[in-house]
Amino acid sequence: MEKKIIYHTAGMPKNLVSLDRLVNSGFSTVELDFTSTIDGKFVWEHDILPTSILSSKTKSIRERLSLEDVLDINRHRSKLMLDIKYVPRHILYSKDFEKLLEHLNSYDEMQIQSLDLGFLSKLADKKYKNIEPGLILNVITRGCINELGIPRIPDIGFMAISNELWEEKDGIYIVKCNEKYPDVKKYAWTWDRRIEDEERIQNFLDKGADGIITSSPKLVKSVLLKKD
């Protein structure tokens, strides 16, 4: 099976120049981070603060690119994986948020990943059949729910699992994940591009990663070519 490569953009400046370069780059899938203001405006931002304590009317927030801006500029040129960092509880069930999800559902192969369990449970609703929800797993989230740190959320399509968990005790965590959730795709990612190297990528592939979320797509492609 062909391995999926998702271009991870966490360290990239969140501006029009970067976005234009991304959507015209030819990457099959681009991952973008979003978090919500207290009044439900989603902006392209990796860090939850300060957006989670400010409204969309705040000057610094207005200057950021919104999710609507990104979708309009992308115009379906790149497939998107949205990393939704934070959804306030009072926004999660609002009519405006329902409309946003319906709009995202109009995209083909839209993937959305999150640490937010309430949000992921909502995405598991069958009416959002074109959205594939995924759970982010790292050393912070593991063990919070059960022995694997993986909640029993119905119908998630993938798990985005950080490098520490792939490497822990020679991959025993991944073995257990595959035993418990054999039908869920497992994507591997490193939290810091400075530690992303050929050996680490090869380790992900050897342990059966279905895809790589990477800040170094050329590196991943070269490893895949060698593997073939």
* Alpha-carbon distances of 31 from 46, 143, 152, 153, 169, rounded to whole Å: 11, 26, 24, 22, 29
CATH architecture of the domain covering 4-227: Alpha-Beta Barrel (3.20)
Residues (pLDDT < 50) of the chain are 143-146
Taking 3-state DSSP, the helix, strand and coil percentages for the chain, each rounded to the nearest 5, stand at 40, 20, 40
The per-residue pLDDT for 126 is 77
Structure tokens at 64: 């950021």
The per-residue pLDDT for 150 is 57
The per-residue pLDDT for 142 is 55
pLDDT tens digit string along 150-174?
Answer: 556 667 899 999 999 998 888 888 8
pLDDT tens digit string along 37-62?
Answer: 999 999 999 888 777 888 999 998 98
Domain boundaries, the chain: 4-227
The per-residue pLDDT for 144 is 46
Total count of residues recorded for the chain:
228
CB 73 within 8 A of CB 20: yes
pTM above 0.85, yes or no: yes
The per-residue pLDDT for 80 is 92
CB 188 within 8 A of CB 159: no
Mean pLDDT of all residues in the chain? 87
The per-residue pLDDT for 145 is 42
